[in-house]
Structure 1
Amino acid sequence: MPSELPPQGSPESPPAHRQAWAPATRGVVIASYLLMAGTLLLVMLRGLLPGLLCVCLGFLLTRWLAPRLVRLRRLGPRGRGFSHSGQSMAAALVMLSPLLLLALALSHSRTYIVDAPQQYRELLDYLARTVLELRLKLPPDIAAQLPAGTAEIQHVIASYLAAKAGALAMAGRAWLTGLLYAYVGLLIGALAAVRGTGTRRGPLTQQLVLRVARMGEAFRQIVAAQFWIAAFNTLLTALFLLVVLPLWDLGLPYTPALITLTFLAGLVPIVGNLLCNAVITLVGLSVSPIAAVACLAFLILIHKAEYVINAKVVGKRTHMGVWELLSVMFVTEAVFGPAGLVAAPLFYAYLKKELKAARLV
C-alpha cells in the first residue's frame, strides 16, 4: 500500500515551512486506522459522545474566532506574536463563555426558584380542575379510577416519584456527567487549537493528524448542514405557533422565546429537537390540554420528518445519498440508542472521506 500523503494545498496538509511529511508504511497507516476506529468505538460505548462533539466544536470556534479578534483589536499584520495573542484570546473566550452563560442564567433564575412552591401549587390546582372535568365527562366506572382532588393528585405524584427515584437519580447523574464531558471536551478543543507544533512528527503521528483532520472537516460540514436544518425547523415551528394555534384560539405565551429556543436547540442534532419539543409541550399544557396535544402531535410529526430532512441536507453537504444516511441512522439508533442517531451523520461522513481518499468508493 503506497504511503498516504495529502495533496499539496489541501486543508489537510501541514504548511511546508513547518514540516515535511515522512513516508508511512502500510503497517503505520493500518495502525492509524485501527486507533481511530477504536477511539470512536470507545466514545460510543462509554458515553463520551458529548465530549467528542465539544472537542470538535471548541477547536473550530477557536480557529474561527482567532483571526477576527486579531482584526478587531487591530493587532497588526500576521506576525507570530500577534497571531498567538489572537489565538489565546479566542481560546479564553471559548473556555469561559459557558461559565459566563451559566452565571447569567443563575442570576436570572432566582425569581423562578423563589416562586417555585407557588407555581407548584398553581400547577396542582390546574391539574385538579382538569381531572374533575374529566370525571364529569367520562363514564362512572372509568371516572372512579381518577384522583378526586388536589391532595390525591399530590399523593399520586409523590408515589410515582418515589417509585422512580432510582431511575430519576440515574438520569440526573447521566445528564450531569454528559455536561461535564461536554465542558472538558470544549476545553480540550480550545487548547488543541492553540497548541504549538514541533519541528518534526513521526509517521504514525502524521497519519493520526490526517485522520483527525478529516474528522474535523466532516464535523464542519455537519455543523453547516445542521444550521439549515435548525432554520427549517424554526420556520415550521414559527408558523405553527404564530399562525396555526392562534387560528384555534390556542396561542401560547412566550412565543418569541420558544422560537428562539427552537433555533438554538436545533443546532444540536436530534437531542436539541427533543428538548425544545418537551418545553413547547409543557407550555401548551399550561394553556389547555388541547393545546398540549396539538403541540405534541405537531412536534412528533416534525421529529419523524427530521430523519428525511437531516438525511437530505446532510447528504447534500457531505455528498452522501439520502438512503445511505437514513440506513446508517436507523442502524446506529438500534445499536447505540439516541447517541447513535446523533453520531451517525458525523461518523458516516468521516468514513466516506476515508474511503474516497483510499479510492475505494
Structure 2
Amino acid sequence: MGMPAAPVSAPSAPLGVRVASYALMAGALWLLLGHGLLPGLLFACLGFLVTRWLAWQFARLGRRKPLTPLLLRWAQICAAALVMLAPLALLMLGLSHSRGYITEAPQQYRELLDYLARTVLELRLKLPSDIAALLPEGAAEIQKTLASYLAAKAGTLAVAGRAWLGGLLHAYVGLLIGALAAVRPVASAHRPLAQQLHLRITRFGDAFRQIVAAQFWIAAFNTALTAVFLLGVLPLWDLHLPYSPALITLTFVAGLVPIVGNLVCNAVITLVGLSVSPAAAVACLGFLILIHKAEYVINAKVVGQRTHMGVWELLAVMFVAEAVFGPAGLVAAPLFYAYLKKELFAARLV
C-alpha cells in the first residue's frame, strides 16, 4: 500500500515458545470465528492497514522537511483519527439521506426472497409454451421445495435487524482496535513469546492484504458494472428489474466471497430477470457470465499467484468451513487458509 513491508521473520525461539504462539493464534481465530466476531476481526485488520497507509502518506506530505519522530507521530495520530471518525461521518450522512434504505435493509431482502419464491412457483408461466412443455412433471415439486426454502429464509431475514446492527457494531469496534494498534508506541524489545506472536499476526496481516483487499476491488468492479447494467443498459431496452438497489448491494456483499458468492448472485439476478421476461433473464445471464469470466482472470492473477492457492483448494476449504461454522466460515475460509499456507511455507513444510 505504498509503505515499507513489515518484517516477516523473527529471531529463533525455543520450540515450546513457537508451539505456544501457534496454539494461541489458532485458539484466538477459532474463538473469533465461533462467536460471531468475524466482522470485528476483518475490520481490525482493515483499520490497521488503512491507518498505517494514511500515516505514511501524511508523513510524505512533509517530505520537504526532515521526517522527525514528532512529525511521524502526528501523522499517525491524524491517520488514526480519520479512520475512526470517517465511519461516523458517513453514517450521519447516510442516515440523513438514505435512512429508509439502511434501516429497512433486512425487510427489503425479505421481500426480495418472497419475490423469488413466487417467481420459482410461476416458472412454467414465465417461459414460452414450447419450452415449458419440455419441463418434467416432477419439476413442480422441485419448484415448490425451492420456493419453500426461499420463503423460510425470508422469514429468517424478517427478524435479522438485531444481528445486522450487532455486526455493524462489532465491525466498528474492530476498526477502532485496528487503528489504535497501528499507532501504538513500538517497544524497544520483546520477549520470545511476544516476538513469535508478532510474527504470527504479521503473517496473518499479509494474508489479509492479499486476499481481502484483492477481493474487495474485484467485488467493487463487479458492483460498478452491475449497477451500470441494471440502471443504465436494461432501461434502454425498456426492461426494468425490481429491487435493483438491493441487487446491487447483494452483488457487492456476495462478491466478497470468492467463487460461491458469484454463483449465488448470478442465480438471484437471473431469477429476478426471469420474473420480468425470458429476454431479461437471458440478458442478465449473458452479462453476468461475461463480467465474471473477466473476474476469474483477475482473481487467478491477483489472488492465486500471490497465495499459491488453486481453485480446487479454495472450494474444498470453503465447503468444510461452511459446514462447520456456517456463512461466517464461508467468508473466513480463503483468509484463514491463506494464512495457514504462509505458516506452512515459512516452516518449509509445503
Instruction: Give me the TM-score of the superposition, normalised by structure 2.
Output: 0.69
Q: CA RMSD in A?
A: 4.6
Task: State the Cα distance separating 1:86 from its structure 2 match.
Answer: 0.4
Counterparts in 2 of 1:83-98, with a 5 A limit? 83-98=72-87
Q: Which residue of 1 aligns with 2:6?
A: 11
CA distance in 1, matches of 2:164, 2:89: 20
CA distance in 2, matches of 1:165, 1:32: 43
Find 1:316's aligned residue among 305, 311, 332.
305
Shift in CA distance, 352/282, structure 1 to aligned 2, threshold 3 Å:
same
Greater RCO structure (CA 8 Å; 6+ sep): 2
Counterparts in 2 of 1:314-353, with a 5 A limit? 314-353=303-342
Task: State the Cα distance separating 1:316 from its structure 2 match.
Answer: 2.3
Q: Which residue of 2 aligns with 1:155?
A: none
Find 2:206's aligned residue among 197, 217, 226.
217
Find 1:269's aligned residue among 246, 250, 257.
257
Residue segments in structure 1 that go unaligned for 5+ positions in a row: 1-8, 15-20, 139-160
Residue 191 in 1 paired to residue 180 in 2? yes
Task: State the Cα distance separating 1:77 from its structure 2 match.
Answer: 2.5
Q: Which residue of 2 aligns with 1:17?
A: none
User: After the TM superposition, which of the residue ranges 265-274 and 80-89 deviates more from structure 2?
Assistant: 265-274
Task: State the Cα distance separating 1:297 from its structure 2 match.
Answer: 6.0
CA distance in 2, matches of 1:111, 1:168: 17
CA distance in 1, matches of 2:341, 2:297: 20
Letter in 1 for 2:257: P
Q: Secondary structure at the match of 1:196?
A: coil
Shift in CA distance, 180/329, structure 1 to aligned 2, threshold 3 Å:
same
Based on CA coordinates, which of the two structures has the bigger radius of gyration? 1
Residue 43 in 1 paired to residue 32 in 2? yes
Q: Which residue of 2 aligns with 1:32?
A: 21
Task: Count residues with an aligned counterpart.
Answer: 306
CA distance in 2, matches of 1:167, 1:43: 23
8 Å CA contact retained: 1:262, 1:273 = no
Instruction: Give me the TM-score of the superposition, normalised by structure 1.
Output: 0.67
Residue 250 in 1 paired to residue 242 in 2? no
8 Å CA contact retained: 1:281, 1:296 = yes
CA distance in 1, matches of 2:7, 2:201: 9
Offset from partner CA, 1:21-63 (integer Å, 9 cap, x none):
6651100000000001111111111011100000100000000
Identical-pair percentage: 60
CA distance in 2, matches of 1:274, 1:105: 30
Residue segments in structure 2 that go unaligned for 5+ positions in a row: 127-150
Task: State the Cα distance separating 1:72 from its structure 2 match.
Answer: 3.7
8 Å CA contact retained: 2:222, 2:252 = no
8 Å CA contact retained: 2:223, 2:252 = no
Residue 63 in 1 paired to residue 58 in 2? no
Q: Which residue of 2 aligns with 1:229?
A: 218
